[in-house]
Chains A and B, each alone.
Chain A
Amino acid sequence: MGSRVLIVDDEPNIVISVEFLMRQEGHEVEMATDGEGALELLASFDPDLVLLDVMMPKMSGFDVLQRIRTDPDLPNPAVIMLTARGREVEVEKGKALGADAYVTKPFATQDLVTAVRDVLAAR
């Protein structure tokens, strides 16, 4: 059963693969390249899951996550953080801010697929 997945990342080269992968999984996919675009799509697209890159210009993934979790006017989807830094401390921070899972770049695509399935199943 397909879900709505919002991919938020400013790196087109990774978005290409993630988008392809999510469509192969049978999900409906939308994409944003920065935090502001993501917040707009959150309201209109109402995703079940957000794949959220941490390192983005202007608003970081953490900023977006904090908005999602604290702004009562926004939908409250599951969030998987993607990061190019792979530091344990970011995982800790992501957890503290309310992320459901954390995937570090570079990742095995299968791990991402597993994480997405687990998080969606847990909802």
Chain B
Amino acid sequence: MSRHRPGSVLAGVGAVATAVGYVIAVGIVWSALDAAGRESFTDVLDRVVAIGVGLTLLGGVIAGWFFRSFMLATRRMAEEVDLIATVNPAHRVDANGPALLRGLGRSVNRLAERLWVSLGEQETAVAAGRSAVEQEKERLSAIVSNLAQGVVVCNLDGQILLYNGEASRLLVSQDVDYIGLGRSVFVFLDRNVVLNALHHLQLQAERAAGLRPQRFIATIPSGYVLRMTMAAVRDAGGVFTGFVLTMEDATKERAARDRRDQLFHSITQDTRGSVAGIRAAIEMIRGYPDMSQEERGKFRSVIADEAERLSARVDEVSSDHTETLESAWELEDMLADDLILALTNRIEDAAAIATSTDMKAESVWVKVDALALVDRLGAIAEQMADQTAATGLVIGLQESGRFAVLDMSWPDSQVTELAISTSIREAPHSGGDLASLIDRHDGEVWCEFGPDGGPFLRVLLPKSTAVPALAVRVLAEGRPEYHDFDLFERRDPAGALDDRPLRELVFTVFDTETTGLDPDGGDEIISVGAVRILNGKLLRFEAFDQLVDPRRSIPADSYAIHKISAEMLSGQHTIDVVLPRFSRFVGDTVLVGHNVAFDLKFLQLKEEATGVAFTKPVLDTLLLAAIVYPDADVHSLEALARLLGVPVTGRHTSLGDALVTAELFLRLIPLLETRGLETFGQVHKAEKETFYARLEY
């Protein structure tokens, strides 16, 4: 569908009607005349036609002028009133238009003036009411940002709603460069581990029991091993709306814990032997009074000897371990199933060996240092895979009295008893050996033999005495498919983008600076800037701002615009590094730009070299403005910014222009809505139509 300017249509229709009138009149006169009359009439007619055509054209021009100056001005005024009423109350209509409209224009402006004042009053009142809440929020965010622990709050989709600096420090790494509001937490954390913890929180909530925060250990892409605590966020009705994760670097805790373990060992083992010696000796003396003098002397010296050793030990312990005692470390309750899941994940992440499980018991709680166990057992699995041709690992779980029995076996492999026994006692370069680790758990580990004589690793871990009530329920029902898990799929509906309102989408608004206007002729990108829009809010602090070494000179005329010199670009990353990073920054958001086809052209030319393609639908503020203001010449960034009341700062830096574009985009959304364009699909379609209409002109 093409659009015609109504003014010219009207002028055309007028001209045609006038011409038809002439032709009819001439026909009537012509039929009434003889030959001579007809000849002289033809002479007259020639002149009349010339005048008539001239008059008709004049009439058309006058009609066109009238339409332009009045009809168009009326429509423009309607648009301007819309603008005042929606996004830019500071705007005033042009009161110097056609005389007929001047009075109306002045009235509109008076109304706008009063609206402005009353909006100001409203704002003051709202601000006063809000300041208390805002202060609370600020205080909260100050507290959270100063916490030594990392904090991340997510909704049920794993979208990050809040995070602090420590979380960012722990989570962000070379491989996963961005943490940000609205981004998924699952790029850092194994989705299954998080879902599992949530699952248990939900089970607890169902039982109306107190919610115990879930603890788990996660190895994240940055390489940190984090100790996580997950608590549920529930609304007033008790419905789960999200979760809070707190995280700490678990490796720090190691040293203190090792000291405590030494203490424990020196107290229990060393003294037991002495006490046993004393007790046995005394019982011998008392139980066998007939023993010889010499024998009695032997027992007495045993008692004296052991008593001396004991008191020396007591002194030693109390002087060595005062500090250790003050920071007692506790093992954490964990489902053995979860431990095995974590272990399986760890082994599979290292791609060491195919791992299967053989669960002969379910919902067995153990008290463990999951971090250390997963770490050490995982290392053993890797080691066995390296040393032998083992192709599969079976991790088994069963119960035996008060113990959980965890077996690791390598069926049909060359794994020997010696290899297993060595792996139990051998200490890796960091941390202790498995034997002493299991020892700290009050557990045992050894090499056991299966019915076929094949050796396997067996670990006994004491079951947790504080078994939470929910375990009973899980045991009774098995592990149900939890219906609420559907919530997690809710936000990624394939193909549903078109049906979603713009206000709900996440956008990345970007701009590039280049060495010139001709990408095919060798011009290159020299900077990329971008900001994100989430829930209708501009996230200024999560910006992408990157200079790019174009590997070519900077033409003087382009330098005049962006003021980026070759010196500023030397040493910067080249486009093959920057574009993949930018692509990760963009993620699955919708790209927005001003006159974005230009920037996209540059990106597309780099697709092959960088392996990065931006194939998602894109919105262009230039075209969106043309939808809202088809007649107005407000299509440059500056003109549009002036009209919509967006202050322009930092123009011709990528980030600066991206910020202005983002502000424009946010103000265009309500204006598009007044034209019935709300969903991405509607806007995208209208944008395409506008694009083709513009091509026709």
B295 contact from A20, A89, A92, A108, Cβ within 8 A? A20
Q: In the bound complex, do residue B281 and residue A106 qualify as a contact, i.e. CB atoms below 8 Å apart?
A: no
Interface of A is mostly: helix
A95 → chain B, closest Cβ, in Å? Answer: 9
| Residue B298 CB within 8 A of the other chain | yes
Q: Are B444 and A20 in contact (CB under 8 A)?
A: no
Counting CB contacts under 8 A, is B400 at the interface? yes
- 24 A-B contacts, Cβ less than 8 Å apart? A13-B274, A13-B277, A13-B306, A14-B276, A14-B280, A16-B302, A17-B299, A17-B302, A18-B280, A55-B273, A62-B446, A70-B449, A84-B273, A87-B442, A88-B462, A89-B442, A92-B460, A93-B444, A97-B446, A105-B272, A105-B273, A106-B280, A109-B284, A109-B287
* Given contacts A62-B446, A85-B269, A108 and B298 within 8 Å (CB-CB): no
Q: Restricting to A78-123, which residues have a CB under 8 Å from any CB of B?
A: 84-90, 92-93, 96-97, 105-110
Q: How long is the Cα–Cα vector from A96 to B447 in the complex, in angstroms? A: 11
Complex Cα spacing A87 to B288, Å: 30
Residues of A within 8 A of B268 (CB): 85-86
User: Which residues of the partner chain B approach A21 to less than 8 Å between Cβ atoms?
Assistant: 280, 284
Is residue B403 within 8 Å, beta carbon to beta carbon, of the partner chain?
Answer: yes
The answer to whether B448 and A84 have CB atoms under 8 Å apart is no
Of residues 1 through 37 on chain A, the ones whose CB sits less than 8 Å from some CB of chain B are: 11, 13-14, 16-18, 20-21, 24
8 A Cβ contacts from B254-296 to A: 268-269, 272-281, 283-284, 287-288, 291, 295
Which residues does chain A contribute within 8 Å of B401, judged by CB atoms?
Answer: 92
Q: Contacting B273 at CB < 8 Å: which of A11, A20, A93, A97?
A: A11
- From B449, which residue of chain A is reached at the shortest CB distance? A70
Query: Are B443 and A89 in touch, CB under 8 angstroms?
Result: yes
Chain B neighbourhood of A14, CB < 8 A? 273, 276-277, 280
Residue of B nearest to A90 (CB): B444
Looking at chain B's contact residues, the main secondary structure is: helix
Chain B residue nearest to A112 (CB atoms) is: B280
Q: Which residue of B lies closest to A18 (CB)?
A: B280
List B contacts of A62 (CB < 8 A).
446
- In the complex, the answer to whether B283 meets A109 with C-beta atoms within 8 Å is yes
In the complex, the answer to whether B277 meets A17 with C-beta atoms within 8 Å is yes
* Residues 392-449 of B at the A interface (beta carbon under 8 Å): 400-403, 442-444, 446, 448-449
Asked if B305 is at the interface of the complex by the 8 Å CB criterion, the answer is yes
Q: What bracket does the count of chain A residues touching chain B fall in?
A: 20 to 34
B272 touches A17 (CB 8 A): no
CB proximity of A71 to chain B, nearest CB, Å: 13
Partner of B444, one of A84, A86, A89, A107: A89
Nearest-neighbor residue (CB-CB) of A83 within chain B: B272
Residues B272 and A85 in contact, CB atoms below 8 Å apart: yes
Q: How far is the CA of A96 from the CA of B269 in the complex (A)?
A: 22
Q: Is the CB of B272 within 8 A of A84?
A: yes
Distance, CA A40 to CA B139, complexed state (A): 74
Residues of B near A84 (CB, < 8 A) are: 269, 272-273, 276
- Given known pairs A85-B269, A88-B402, A105-B272, the reply for A17 and B280 (CB within 8 Å) is yes
* Closest-CB distance, B416 to chain A (whole angstroms): 14
Query: Are A13's CB and B269's CB within 8 A?
Result: no
Instruction: Identify which of residues 530-584 in chain B touch chain A, using a CB-to-CB cut-off of 8 Å.
Output: none
Question: How many Å from the CB of B264 to the closest CB on chain A?
Answer: 11
Distance of B115 from chain A, by nearest CB (Å): 78
Q: Which residues of B contact A55 (CB under 8 A)?
A: 269, 273
Q: Are B281 and A86 in contact, CB atoms less than 8 angstroms apart?
A: no
Q: Is the CB of B284 within 8 A of A20?
A: yes
Which residues of B lie under 8 Å from residue A24 when comparing CB positions? 288
Interfacial chain B residues near A18, Cβ < 8 Å: 280
* Bound CA–CA A43/B400 (angstroms): 34
